[in-house]
Structure 1
Amino acid sequence: MGHKAFSTLGLLLGVFLLALQTVCGDVAYSFPEEMKRGTVVGNIAKYIGVEVGKLGARKARIDADGNSKRYCDINLSTGDIIVADRIDREGLCGKRASCVLKQELVLENPLELHRINVHVQDINDNSPQFKKDTIKFEISESASKGSRYRLDEAHDADVGQNAVQRYSIETNENFRLNVISKSGGGKYSELVLEKELDREQQQELTIVLVATDGGTPQRSGTAVIHVVVLDANDNAPVFSQAVYKASLPENSPLDTVVVTVSASDADEGVNGEVTYEFDHISDESNNVFSLDPTTGEVKVSGSIDYEELSTYEMQITAKDGLGLVSSSILIIDITDVNDNAPDTFIKSLTNPIPENVSPGTEVGIINVQDRDSESNGQVRCFIQQNVPFNWFRLSKTIILW
């Protein structure tokens, strides 16, 4: 009985020491996107204190986290971490403020696992773009000074200072530009009538709208504002709600009706006919939802994946027959369903195993992941009974011994 207790204590101590030796903390690097293949990021051998000459013998390699692509590699001759493939921040992280790639350095004999977090910095490699080249308005000559006309928002795939920072228009005697910052980030602009229009003097106006980002060098995009001067249209459409909110399971089938928006216009005839359209839609929302321009029904039109994006926010514009517009915000929260099975990745495995191997010797590292969230993403692991192996769990990693 005493000998068995002593052996158990020894195994527990061995497992504790193994945990200290096998997983050795995080290494972080930060560099801009679009770096050339082969660019040296840093020397990891010096950082973790491993002799360069031993990297090959210890089978040093870089693995990606889960099913993600391997963007970094290790030069076994120098111990340098190098860029292995093109890194496009916008393609990887969209508009998220922080973009982190998770890679892992694996060493064997003895086993070591170093997590590498690569912080990808944005560069100004995208120009602002408007949804349409021409923005059309039909404005009554009876419109009063100070009337405001919402303009399309320019989209820039970059983030932070490299995104759209300002709008401007060429000098004219009828309109000025008012730029508004949105609470969730981003900017849009409005035309403000400074001098009443006179259809008898001028039936049409053309004004160039410019969106400029804050990068170095600066990039810009343009759209043409085309104003047709008409007679009275006294009321703009008014939405029934300033903000529409809906909740939707991620496995919702195509053509599922998410919500119906509604705006009314006090005018009659063509002046009171309201049509709906999405204002600027981000790349993440594009082709996922459709909007019926007549009924205001928003339907599912593409694949929805909670693990890719859990919330969609879109701006919907209501426009009457002669061009007066108003807008409302639609927020759709996606709920998670258990649609992902756990994935198992063998990080390292000693095979075959000598029959005289000592108890407590580590023989492999297994990584288990589930892309679902909360309880749907919790994984329980079991090992087959009546086999001479045991395991312990460290974060998402299982060590067999």
Structure 2
Amino acid sequence: MEASRKLTCRQRQVHFSFFLLGLSLVNAGELRHYSVVEEREGRSFVTNLVNDLGLGQLEFSSRGAKVVSKGNKLRLQLDQETGDLLLTEKVDREELCGHTEPCLLRFQVLLDNPLDIFQADLQITDINDHSPAFLDKEIMLTISESSLPGATFPLKNAQDMDVGQNGIDSYLVSSNPYFHVLTRKRSDGKKYPELVLDRALDREEQAELRLTLTAQDGGSPTRSGTTEVHIEVLDFNDNAPQFEELLYRVQIPEDSPIGFLITTVSATDKDIGVNGQISYSLFQASDDISKTFSIHPLTGEVRLKEQLDFEKTQSYEVNIEARDAGTFSGKCTILTQVVDVNDHTPEITLSAFTNPIPENLPETMVAVFTVSDLDSGENGKITCSIQDDLPFFLRPSGENFYTLLTQKPLDRETTAEYNITITVTDLGTPRLTTQHTITVQVSDVNDNAPAFTQTSYTLFVQENNSPALHIGTISATDSDSGSNARITYSLLPAHDSQLTLDSLISINADNGQLFALRALDYEALQTFKFLVGATDQGSPALSSQALVRVLVLDANDNAPFVLYPLQNASAPCTELLPRAAEPGYLVSKVVAVDRDSGQNSWLSFQLLKATEPGLFSVWAHNGEVRTSRLLSERDAPKHRLLLLVKDNGDPPRSASVILHVLLVDGFSQPYLPLPEAAHEPAQDDDALTLYLVIALASVSSLFLLSVLLFVGVRLCRRARPASLGGCSVPEGHFPGHLVDVGRAGTLSQSYPYEVRLMGDSGTDEFKFLKPILPNFQDHPLGSETGEISNCRNDWDFGIQLK
């Protein structure tokens, strides 16, 4: 093993040495140039090397051409069959070459047998796929308002990943009255913007400017990038202070305390910094003014230095000066009026109060109160009010007496509580106000009936449900409170006297849950509806009602019932089949019904077993039994067919049918096999006569038995009319073309069925079977096995032949 590894290693070294020797001897040949545009999708075509190298397609494929690029930056793929050189992925020029222009990527094409190397380069052509971008989102500049027009201010340039004409071409600045921009070029070829001042700045007019600087490239279409230039204008002291008002008029109550703030004067200077700092002082003040008033030098607050006396001095005139740090100043005047004091607030005294107040009552007294004020004159006059958005009002009831009344009947369900604020204000200067808040509760009256969440409810119940099954919940709400809102639920008497609602449904009086008391049978009761009531416990009690509809869902719980041929007859019915019948001859038709509905009642027919396989077939959808081939003398004279009738439920249910078929040479002479011993010609006529007599006797007996059975069933059913439960079906004389299916087998009531037959090659064939009663779907079949005469002859057993 070790020796073989050493041998393999030596072989590789020898091969590699020969490969290097071959490379040194190969002439690289002429350098080939190719070009592609960047951002092309993968699998893009570059060139066809078969044509470029002047080789045939077969030679090119056999020499195993390969493409090699330095550093594997360029993803190239060579199609060996066509010689097409393709890009395997999208190429980004900026990622491969950056700002280097032109962007050339070298690669080699290697061919074996003999070894050739072809040098080539691929130029990646730039497209304008990058927009200029500034490194800073905002450029800050500080310019003095004393700067002269023509001054220049260089700005930072933008960056663009593209090269050549796709690079930055020019700069623009948003429209403004002060600056324009020039595009300058550095020694390295990069362009940068320079702002030029067109008009002198005024900081007081505009303290700062925000301009949008835009860099555009020369591509097509043109791309651009923007940044914001924020220019802050430096201040120069060229403005005097100015007061907001030249004349201030104020009124001072005589009882104002020492230090009371009379007013605050304010002056502004359009300059900023030291140039805009203002100091306030009294200007040419008399001794009386200096002793009574003072002003803060920085804030301009004018305050009292001593108590005022209205009887001594009614007014003062105070002059104020504002000065900045330079030589500029401004002046204003304060006219001060001393006002007599209204120093007593009104009072409220509550005399009567009613709480709570019943709802739905017209104009009701809530409270009675008095108001007073110790002041005199205008200061002693009083006004009284409450909120405007409340259903209450005030009525004067004599001097300084007021009554609080309800404006309209209250509704507790809308608002259960009111907070009423009584406001008393005098007419003094300044006006004094007293407020008193009272809380009024609204007591409930049973004036709202319960309301169901739905006007009607539809509930679904699968038949054969377990007793006491919860089938749904009804719900009602009452806007009242307390006992007036407590709801009880009940079942209302049914309008249909035949609907025993108490045996079907019960309701929980507290929460409205409905329960099925017993198992429901879809075939007996498919749907029923009733009314439920919701009653509160108020006095008088109020109630409402809602309709509940219960739909019983069908389950596949009934097997198909065979109407024809009847399987429980005392004598089996035999169908006669002539030996001359053609293939497809209608032998008989199986008629069956299913008490279920929907797909549970869809029936299919199947032949399970036959005496002679392949002789008979049954149609899956209509139950017709037909011959599959011609009859022969070797076929047995009697055949027994076992058929299956299956519904489409889940799981499916089925019933079996046995059909006897007797082969005859004709309907008048049924064929019977002769005994093996009768071979003498002299005895043939006697044996045939005997067989015919036996056949006729059998047919006659079978006919009489069928007639007696049919009459007995009719008489028995009429003798027991009271035994029919559930939905009754009117009984009477059936026409001769009807099959009467009584309460026997799986049918729960009597149903007349019309069976229509039609002639076909001398035979009688069922055309359709349908119920005569229009409400047949409302009266489902029973679960017992019914009896019906099922012989297929021209006998009078209730089936009319047409």
| TM-score, with length taken from structure 1 | 0.51
Shift of 1:210: 0.7
Q: Distance in 2 between matches of 1:51 and 1:73?
A: 19
1:73 — aligned with what? 77
Which structure would you say has the larger RCO, counting Cα contacts within 8 Å and 6 or more residues apart? 1
1:92 — aligned with what? 96
Q: Distance in 1 between matches of 2:55 and 2:37?
A: 27
Shift of 1:56: 3.1
- Identify the match of residue 145 of structure 1 among 144, 149, 155: 149
- Identify the match of residue 36 of structure 1 among 37, 41, 58: 41
8 Å contact kept, 2:22–2:115: no
Q: Distance in 2 between matches of 1:117 and 1:213?
A: 28
Q: For 1:222-254, what per-residue CA distance to the aligned partner results, in whole angstroms no more than 9, with x for missing partners?
A: 11111111137xxxxxxxxxxxxxxxxxxxxxx
- Identify the match of residue 132 of structure 1 among 125, 129, 136: 136
The alignment partner of 2:64 has SS state of coil
Distance verdict in 2 for CA 1:18–1:97, change over 3 Å: closer
- Identify the match of residue 54 of structure 1 among 40, 51, 59: 59
Which has the greater radius of gyration? 2
Distance verdict in 2 for CA 1:70–1:222, change over 3 Å: closer
Q: Distance in 1 between matches of 2:235 and 2:58?
A: 83
The alignment partner of 2:67 has SS state of strand
Shift of 1:37: 1.1
8 Å contact kept, 1:22–1:111: no
Q: For 1:296-333, what per-residue CA distance to the aligned partner results, in whole angstroms no more than 9, with x for missing partners?
A: xxxxxxxxxxxxxxxxxxxxxxxxxxxxxxxxxxxxxx
2:472 — aligned with what? none
Amino acid at match of 1:61: K
8 Å contact kept, 1:63–1:70: no
Shift of 1:183: 2.2
1:319 — aligned with what? none
Identity of aligned residues (%): 37
Amino acid at match of 1:168: L
8 Å contact kept, 1:34–1:87: yes
Distance verdict in 2 for CA 1:214–1:70, change over 3 Å: closer
Q: Distance in 2 between matches of 1:134 and 1:184?
A: 25
Shift of 1:94: 1.2
2:126 — aligned with what? 122
Q: Distance in 1 between matches of 2:44 and 2:195?
A: 47
Q: For 1:170-224, what per-residue CA distance to the aligned partner results, in whole angstroms no more than 9, with x for missing partners?
A: 2211111111012221210111111010011111111111111111111100111
8 Å contact kept, 1:37–1:85: yes
8 Å contact kept, 2:23–2:115: no
1:107 — aligned with what? 111
2:225 — aligned with what? 221
Distance verdict in 2 for CA 1:30–1:112, change over 3 Å: same
Amino acid at match of 1:48: L
Shift of 1:121: 0.8
Distance verdict in 2 for CA 1:131–1:28, change over 3 Å: same
1:205 — aligned with what? 209
Is there any run of 5+ residues in structure 1 with no aligned partner, and where? Answer: 1-15, 233-401
Shift of 1:54: 2.8
Q: What are the residue-to-residue correspondences of 1:1-400 with 2, within 5 Å? A: 22-65=27-70, 67-231=71-235
Amino acid at match of 1:51: G
Q: Distance in 1 between matches of 2:25 and 2:108?
A: 17
8 Å contact kept, 1:52–1:76: no
Amino acid at match of 1:37: G
Q: For 1:57-82, what per-residue CA distance to the aligned partner results, in whole angstroms no more than 9, with x for missing partners?
A: 211110112x3424222111111111
Amino acid at match of 2:79: N
Shift of 1:48: 0.9
The alignment partner of 1:45 has SS state of helix
Q: Distance in 2 between matches of 1:70 and 1:81?
A: 12
1:282 — aligned with what? none
8 Å contact kept, 1:176–1:194: yes
Is there any run of 5+ residues in structure 2 with no aligned partner, and where? Answer: 1-20, 237-802
Distance verdict in 2 for CA 1:85–1:75, change over 3 Å: same
8 Å contact kept, 1:140–1:230: yes
User: What's the RMSD between the two structures over aligned residues?
Assistant: 2.1
Q: Distance in 1 between matches of 2:30 and 2:141?
A: 59
Shift of 1:21: 5.3
Q: Distance in 1 between matches of 2:91 and 2:25?
A: 33
The alignment partner of 1:153 has SS state of coil
Distance verdict in 2 for CA 1:130–1:70, change over 3 Å: closer
8 Å contact kept, 1:164–1:214: yes
The alignment partner of 2:50 has SS state of helix
Q: Distance in 1 between matches of 2:77 and 2:120?
A: 11
Amino acid at match of 2:50: A
8 Å contact kept, 1:139–1:231: no
Query: How many residue pairs align between the two structures?
Result: 217
The alignment partner of 2:94 has SS state of helix
Q: Distance in 1 between matches of 2:191 and 2:165?
A: 12
Query: Which range moves more in the overlay, 127-136 or 80-89?
Result: 80-89
Q: Distance in 2 between matches of 1:212 and 1:187?
A: 11
Q: For 1:237-286, what per-residue CA distance to the aligned partner results, in whole angstroms no more than 9, with x for missing partners?
A: xxxxxxxxxxxxxxxxxxxxxxxxxxxxxxxxxxxxxxxxxxxxxxxxxx
8 Å contact kept, 1:62–1:70: no
Q: Distance in 2 between matches of 1:21 and 1:46?
A: 21
Q: Distance in 1 between matches of 2:133 and 2:40?
A: 24
Distance verdict in 2 for CA 1:98–1:18, change over 3 Å: closer
